[in-house]
Every structure is written in structure tokens, then in C-alpha cells.
Structure 1
């Protein structure tokens, strides 16, 4: 009987070295795009390219009972310099707020009240209605304001109660003037749809959780038509933001200037 020869140690080491990257990569996500490109793709699902307008209805619920309602029209136009959206928000309802305006141009956010004909600087973190802040109703490109890292690939139950294969992204603010210091965002691993987000303060306190749901076809692709926003401390305090009448349109440069606010008329 022939003598069994031991497997060469050097060959064994080479074999292990070759298999190590495969072992480390499994079951890791294998998309060749960068994490920042995934965030850009998720932005494109939420926002159409170019200038547009959209109607938003915000409804606040306390322990299941409707407590407030507001209707806005948002006009959005990307900046030629930064690519970030500039916004003019027109208040439509309730009647006491009709005609009021908010303007965001770069880092500046202004509120205009036609009764006083005065515009005052405000914060994007300030509450607008319920859990929706001023910054929440503005059109934004998250990839312009945040640095993204991939936390992992995770199963997630979306806002419709359906189990999804998702990518968990952690977004860190690049500047202090953005609405949230940190955002945890889950996007569909197949089609980049935003599914859920958690928003945190600079002190790392959970402020709110949002579910993006009721996807419908709008301006050439499927987009979320409803966002459900839940308070970080009181899960019974919920704000539902519904979008409709999304239209590509020219948003004049003049509308996005603070001096023009007293002259703006409902379109």
C-alpha cells in the first residue's frame, strides 16, 4: 500500500487565501455601484428631473383621531450651481393660512405672511404640521447633503406590510444647516425605492420614523404618493403626507427670490 503524502502547507495557505475574499463577501451585497450612487438612485425615485410642481396634503392624527389638516403647493427648481432643489411653498388651506409662502434658496429659508407683508428667516427643523417639519415638505436631493455608508442588507417590512429585501444606508450630514444630523434610510435592493427612514438629531435622538408607500406612476416612473411620519417618542402621533398633481413645469427664477414674495400670485 502506498504511503499517503501530506497536503503541502504552502499550497494549503494559497488555497485559503484565495477563498478568504469569497467567504468575507458572502452573503454581502454585490451591486457594483457605490453607496452614494444608490442614494442618488433613491433620490431619483422620489423626485422627477428638472422643474416641477406638486400638491401636498398633510393630515395630523393623535391617537387615531384627525386633529389638523393643511394643503400646500410646492414649486421646485434645481440650482444650476449645486444641483440641489430650490423651493417655493404656497399655502392653500386652511383658509387662515391661504396665501402664506415659504422660500428655500440654498441655505436660506424664509416665511412670508401677506397680512404683514414681512418675510422672516426660519429653520428647516421647525414643525410645520404635526410631525412634518418645514424641511420635510421641501424637495431635496439627499445625496447632495449627506454622505452615505452601507450598513448591510436586511429584510424589512415596508409601509404596506410587505417583506422586502432592503439595503440599509446611514446618511451623515455634510453641513450643519440641513434638516437632520443623521438619517438611517432603507431602500429596496431590487429597484432603489425608498422604503423607510429614521431621522436623528445632532444628539443622536430619534426624532421621527417615515414610511414611503402607495407607489404610483407619476412623471414617467413609479414614485411614492404617501409618506407616513411617526413621532420618535409617541407612536400615536402620526402625520400623513399625500402628494398629487405632480407636473413638470417651468418655475421662473424670479419666484425663488425673497424680494419677489410680495408679488407672487397663486398659479
Structure 2
């Protein structure tokens, strides 16, 4: 009898282990929902709001292409608006991030944590596969209210950075159980303090999948400070390797 009970407990434990979703796999699948698997471009429009009033705005074009060996994206960002910033460039190649100003003809190393505009950091506008830079564990399953005030049954993942070059030390990410769409995220500094929260919404059919077309970023200290990132003009692109090299930045002329 004792042997039978032990065997039954062992079988139940194995069944539960097999049924439990793997956190890293969930994260990788959520990456695939957010990011296309071919080189692409899109326009990012950022608008900052304070107490509901629109303030500073910015418009960028992002060209992204996954690196064959690592699977992580490399991105070239071209500034369009405001006019004073037109022609400036930002390049993410591997773990390096560079900013190029045509007026000085110099490219300088910058941090992904550095503020770009409002609550958006440099690292928020480049394309990233989180599963390449973070180790995920599943904390729980929760029903949350998403950015459209709809109730969603989600996996709650805890992401911890695997290297110091990423934008955030840790992230809490809620991924929809039904379709693996990212719904909400909290971003933390190394000290453990909350930097910001984000909601992914406006899912639409673009670039071969249903992907978010808007990210709402809310300041971690003052919830009345909000930055909205809207994505448009999605297109498959043939992105030359030269565009993704630092030495080529002074010669980039765009389209």
C-alpha cells in the first residue's frame, strides 16, 4: 500500500511538472507576438502628458533586424521630429548603443537607461527580445485589468537581467494566458525601486501577426506623468548590414 501511494504521488508530481508552463518559453513566445521574425521598419510617435495635457512630442523611424547568431535585434533609429532633431541617429548593435549628431559628426556611446523623452528611455524604442537578456520565473497566475480596462487572465513572470547592458535590472511582466500577448509590465532599478509601468494595447494585424500598436508608460513616482508610444507605417524592409555599423552613421542618408 505504501509503495502504491508513493508511486501515485510520484506520478502526480510528474504530471503537474509536465503541465506547468515553462516561464522562459512563455517569455520567448511573448517576444514572438511583439516582434516580427523578419527585418522591418516602423514609425514611433512619442507624446508626453502631464495631468492629462499633451506636452513634448517626438517622431522616430526604427529599422530593426535580428542578428543571426544571438537572435537579439539590432536597430537603427532615425529622428524625424521635432525639426531641431531631424537627422540624428541612434544605433543599437549587440550590447552597444551609439548616438550620432550630424551637426558635430560625432558618435558617442550612450546608456539604454538614459531618458529619451518623458518616461521613455533610449532602450524603450529599440526592438528587443527579452528572453535573450532576462531569466524568467513564473510567480503566479492573476486576473488583471489591462490598458483598455479589460480583465485578462495572465501569467505573471519575474524577469531578472542576465547582463548589465540592459535597460532594466528586473521586470514584472503579465502575459495573457489565452494568446501570450504582453499586457502589463513593471520596471525596476537595481535598488528595487519602481521606475515605471507600461501597458501594451491597440493590438492589430501588422507584419504577419497581431501585435501591439501602442505602449502607455506611466512614471513610477507620479502616475500623472505619462508617455504614449504609438507605432505606425509598419513595413517589411531589406536592411543593409552597413546601416547597422557605427562607422557608417555619418554616411547614412535614409530613404
TM-score band, normalised by the shorter chain?
Answer: over 0.9
TM-score between both structures, scaled by the size of structure 1: 0.90
Task: Give me the whole-angstrom Cα distance separating, in 2, the residues matched to 1:96 and 1:29.
Answer: 56
Task: Give me the whole-angstrom Cα distance separating, in 1, the residues matched to 2:244 and 2:51.
Answer: 38
Query: Which residue does 1:18 correspond to in 2?
Result: 8
Query: Which residue does 1:216 correspond to in 2?
Result: 204
The answer on 1:169 being equivalent to 2:169 is no
Q: How many residues align?
A: 255
- SS of the aligned residue for 1:160 comes to coil
Residue 39 of structure 1, aligned match among 9, 27, 36: 27
Deviation by residue 1:171-201 (Cα, 9 ceiling, x = unmatched): 1101011110101000000110000000001
Query: Which residue does 1:203 correspond to in 2?
Result: 191
- SS of the aligned residue for 1:199 comes to strand
Task: Say which one has the larger Rg.
Answer: 1
Q: Is the 8 A contact 1:57 1:241 kept in 2?
A: yes
Query: Which residue does 1:4 correspond to in 2?
Result: none
Q: How does 1:105-254 map to 2 (within 5 A)?
A: 105-254=93-242
Task: Give me the whole-angstrom Cα distance separating, in 2, the residues matched to 1:231 and 1:186.
Answer: 18
TM-score between both structures, scaled by the size of structure 2: 0.94
Task: Give me the whole-angstrom Cα distance separating, in 2, the residues matched to 1:49 and 1:222.
Answer: 13
Query: Which residue does 1:255 correspond to in 2?
Result: 243
Task: Give me the whole-angstrom Cα distance separating, in 2, the residues matched to 1:29 and 1:197.
Answer: 27
Task: Give me the whole-angstrom Cα distance separating, in 2, the residues matched to 1:133 and 1:225.
Answer: 18
Runs (4+) of structure 1 exceeding 2 A deviation are 13-26, 28-31
Task: Give me the whole-angstrom Cα distance separating, in 2, the residues matched to 1:94 and 1:181.
Answer: 31
Query: Which residue does 1:76 correspond to in 2?
Result: 64
Task: Give me the whole-angstrom Cα distance separating, in 1, the residues matched to 2:108 and 2:118.
Answer: 21
Gaps of 5+ in 2: none
Deviation by residue 1:96-145 (Cα, 9 ceiling, x = unmatched): 10000001111111100111111111000000010000000000000000
Task: Give me the whole-angstrom Cα distance separating, in 2, the residues matched to 1:200 and 1:29.
Answer: 31
Task: Give me the whole-angstrom Cα distance separating, in 2, the residues matched to 1:107 and 1:146.
Answer: 13
- SS of the aligned residue for 1:111 comes to strand
Task: Give me the whole-angstrom Cα distance separating, in 2, the residues matched to 1:239 and 1:94.
Answer: 16
Alignment RMSD (CA, Å)? 2.0
Deviation at residue 15 of structure 1 after TM alignment: 4.7
Task: Give me the whole-angstrom Cα distance separating, in 2, the residues matched to 1:192 and 1:130.
Answer: 28
